[in-house]
């Protein structure tokens, strides 16, 4: 049986769904709003009465005070598409000799994607997605409803890691497969020799909203080794010998902090949301944090 149907996991998803409703989470930037008339909808604004308008929506209190016919306009929520785009390149797999494969970045990405997809579907949005390495693969068609939850879990459960990363090529193919604008949640370690920025620029150019979830192993911020070591590229055959001492570790930490600042600055400039987490943080704790950060609390 899939781990996504574990009773404990499902209980956490339902708790997150309830919290998301309280926070009015609606896909990072908010559900699309459309102006239309209707007493059961949320009041938005006034406009001048025009011949043929329904007199039920005239604000007669304003008419008595100002002798002007103004029509109440209400805001209606429209469904939106939520796309889950998961990095399944080799670097997302667990490290060689890892004690707990559940701490692999891909396992964490699947849990976060399952939670966000579950919340979106419970919010009556449509959910779809795909996986990528050097190319886009395993697309999940966009749909809504309870049946889509089962399809989402099966899609995530079947994913495995391998190959190199080409974010830009994957983003271009994604935009062709899913042309309707929506919220794209990119779950990746962003380890691409050609950079990550061209990919998100491709998505925003197609009018997608983008949320980048940057996934790191819990020990990526601090090398766990000292002395003479051989570093091997997780997605290629390159290897490099070096001597790791305290001075090199300090330089590594400084370079990593600079790299994170560059990403944050770039995302701010592009008008997209950026969240970073490690596999040591419980997935539900991170999802709740992301809901709070990207929601407008009523």
- CATH classification at residue 181: 3.40.50.410
The H-assigned helical ranges of 123-206 are: 146-157, 167-177, 197-205
Return the minimum-mean-pLDDT range out of 88-92, 148-152, 190-194. Answer: 190-194
Task: Write the pLDDT tens digit of every residue in 178-194.
Answer: 999 999 999 999 999 88
- Give yes or no for residue 28 having a pLDDT over 50: no
- Are residues 182 and 40 part of one domain? no
Structure tokens at 161: 């890691």
Of 62, 77, 92, which one is at a domain's C-terminal end? Answer: 77
Assign 30 a pLDDT band (cuts: 50, 70, 90).
very low
Assign 297 a pLDDT band (cuts: 50, 70, 90).
very low
Residue with tokens 């990528």: 132
Tell me the sheet residues that pair with 213.
187, 275
Assessment of whether the complete model's pTM goes beyond 0.75: yes
Using CA atoms, how far apart are residues 231 and 219, in angstroms rounded to an integer?
15
Mean pLDDT of 11-23: 83
* 160 three-state secondary structure: coil
Structure tokens at 75: 């805001």
Percent of the chain with pLDDT over 90: 53
Assign 20 a pLDDT band (cuts: 50, 70, 90).
confident
Of 15, 44, 77, which one is at a domain's C-terminal end? Answer: 77
- Are residues 86 and 73 part of one domain? no
- Are residues 37 and 22 part of one domain? no
Mark 36-53 as b/e (b = at least 16 C-beta within 10 Å).
eeeeebeeeeeeebeeee
- Are residues 55 and 146 part of one domain? no
- Are residues 287 and 183 part of one domain? yes
* 200 three-state secondary structure: helix
Assign 75 a pLDDT band (cuts: 50, 70, 90).
low
Return the minimum-mean-pLDDT range out of 51-55, 90-94, 113-117, 175-179. Answer: 51-55
- Are residues 149 and 266 part of one domain? yes
| Chain center to CA of 13 | 16
Using CA atoms, how far apart are residues 139 and 202, in angstroms rounded to an integer?
18
Domain span at residue 190 reads 3-28+79-294
Using CA atoms, how far apart are residues 277 and 33, in angstroms rounded to an integer?
31
Of 77, 103, 136, which one is at a domain's C-terminal end? Answer: 77
Q: Which of 195, 238, 234, 188 is nearest to 88 (CA)?
A: 188
Q: Which residues contact 257 (CB under 8 A, 6 or more apart)?
A: none
Instruction: Supply the pLDDT for residue 35.
Output: 38
Question: 56 — alpha (psi -120 to 50), left (phi > 0) or beta?
Answer: alpha
- Are residues 287 and 239 part of one domain? yes
- Are residues 41 and 156 part of one domain? no
- Are residues 221 and 200 part of one domain? yes
Mark 156-182 as b/e (b = at least 16 C-beta within 10 Å).
beebebeebbbbbbbbbbbbeebeebb
Count of structural domains within the chain: 2
- Give yes or no for residue 32 having a pLDDT over 60: no
Structure tokens at 110: 């699947």
- Are residues 138 and 56 part of one domain? no
* CA angle in degrees (0–180, nearest 5) for 204-145-118: 60
- Are residues 97 and 73 part of one domain? no
- Are residues 151 and 39 part of one domain? no
- Give yes or no for residue 211 having a pLDDT over 90: yes
């Amino acid at each position: 049986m899939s781990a996504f149907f574990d009773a404990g996991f499902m209980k956490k998803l339902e708790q997150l769904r309830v919290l998301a409703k309280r926070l009015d989470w609606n896909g990072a930037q908010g559900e699309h709003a459309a102006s239309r008339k209707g007493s059961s909808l949320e009041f938005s604004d006034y406009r001048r009465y025009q011949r043929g308008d329904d007199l039920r929506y005239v604000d007669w209190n304003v008419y008595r005070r100002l002798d002007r016919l103004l029509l109440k306009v209400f805001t209606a929520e429209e469904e939106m598409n939520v796309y889950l785009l998961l990095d399944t390149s080799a670097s997302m797999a667990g490290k060689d000799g890892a004690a707990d494969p559940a701490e692999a970045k891909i396992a964490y990405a699947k849990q976060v994607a399952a939670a966000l997809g579950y919340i979106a579907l419970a919010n009556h949005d449509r959910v779809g997605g795909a996986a990528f390495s050097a190319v886009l693969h395993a697309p999940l068609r966009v749909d809504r409803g309870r049946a889509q939850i089962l399809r989402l879990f099966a899609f995530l459960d079947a994913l495995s890691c391998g190959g190199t990363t080409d974010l830009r090529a994957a983003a271009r193919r994604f935009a062709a497969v899913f042309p309707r604008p929506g919220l794209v949640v990119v779950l990746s370690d962003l380890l691409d020799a050609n950079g990550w920025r061209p990919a998100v620029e491709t998505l925003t150019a197609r009018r997608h909203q983008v949320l980048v979830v940057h996934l790191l192993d819990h020990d990526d911020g601090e090398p766990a080794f000292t002395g003479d070591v051989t570093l091997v590229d997780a997605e290629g055959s390159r290897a490099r010998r070096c001597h790791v001492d305290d001075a090199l570790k300090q330089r590594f930490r400084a370079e990593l902090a600079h790299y994170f600042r560059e990403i944050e600055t770039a995302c701010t400039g592009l008008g997209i949301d950026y969240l970073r987490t490690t596999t040591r943080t419980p997935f539900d704790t991170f999802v709740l944090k992301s809901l709070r950060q990207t929601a407008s609390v009523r």
